[in-house]
Amino acid sequence: AEEVGGGDKEVVREYFTNDGFQRWKKIYGDTDDVNKVQLDIRIGHAKTVENVMQMLTDEGSLRGVTVCDAGCGTGLLSIPLAKEGAIVSASDISASMVSEAQTKAKEALQGKDDVQIPKFEVSDLESLNGKYDTVVCLDVLIHYPQIKADGMIAHLASLAENRLILSFAPKTFYYDLLKRIGELFPGPSKATRAYLHSEADIEQALRKVGWKIRKRGLTTTQFYFSRIVEAVRA
């Protein structure tokens, strides 16, 4: 049975503030102290960021475009967005992540012409408000069952004026992932589990709130699978 209430979210917040933060900071960093699986995930995730930047810039320059990076992690998307001239509002449920992202963004962006350092905030995406040209939410839905993902997608769509980009672990790779999941995510004693989503379910959640998928992308490496969808108003 799906969990009702704030259970998943509290577990996720705790995980990404403490143990999960330490683990993912390494994966999303550039130091050598990662194992083979972590390195594979680092490379896969970098490809996702690259795909998303390509999708966004294919539609025109990002200069002056407002972008909400919901669940920004260590800022790996926020930083290239800012480099392209976007006005970035980045947030994450984990204060540790936000503080790391802030440090990284300053290192990478301070003193650069025509670049605004992203505005960082500790917030779960469900509490975000305002309007942004573009809303992006990468590799966050994996922490939530579809029943919660529906509401998260509806909320993110309500913040977006033009486009919404989501990435998630697709159910198509269920068996592949099952075999590897022990490596990918900590066991129940340590915290979060991974939820896969079917593309049809994501598409339906978008359709329910009046959005349709315009572009699709897919990143796969040995241990990392991420479906990317770009949605616009139907």
Closest residue to ligand SAM, based on beta-carbon distance: 73
Return the residue of 44, 65, 88, 139 that touches ligand SAM, per CB under 6 A.
139
Instruction: Identify whether the C-beta of residue 79 lies closer than 8 Å to the C-beta of residue 104.
Output: yes
The neighbouring-strand residues paired with 230 are 165, 215
DSSP designation for 6:
S
Token representation of residue 74:
């260590």
Contact between 125 and ligand SAM by CB under 6 A: the answer reads yes
Contact between 140 and ligand SAM by CB under 6 A: the answer reads yes
- Please, what is the minimum distance in Å from the beta carbon of residue 203 to ligand SAM? 21
DSSP designation for 197:
B
Only one of the segments 65-73, 106-114, 179-187, 199-207 lies at the binding site for ligand SAM (rule: CB under 6 A); that segment is 65-73
Contact between 40 and ligand SAM by CB under 6 A: the answer reads no
- Please, what is the minimum distance in Å from the beta carbon of residue 121 to ligand SAM? 10
Only one of the segments 89-97, 113-121, 177-185, 204-212 lies at the binding site for ligand SAM (rule: CB under 6 A); that segment is 89-97
DSSP string across 57-102: HHTS--TT-EEEEET-TTSTTHHHHHHTT-EEEEEES-HHHHHHHH
Whole-number Å distance between alpha carbons of 111 and 60: 25
Instruction: Tell me which residues touch ligand SAM (CB under 6 A).
Output: 9, 12, 16, 28, 71-73, 76-77, 92-94, 97, 124-125, 138-140, 143
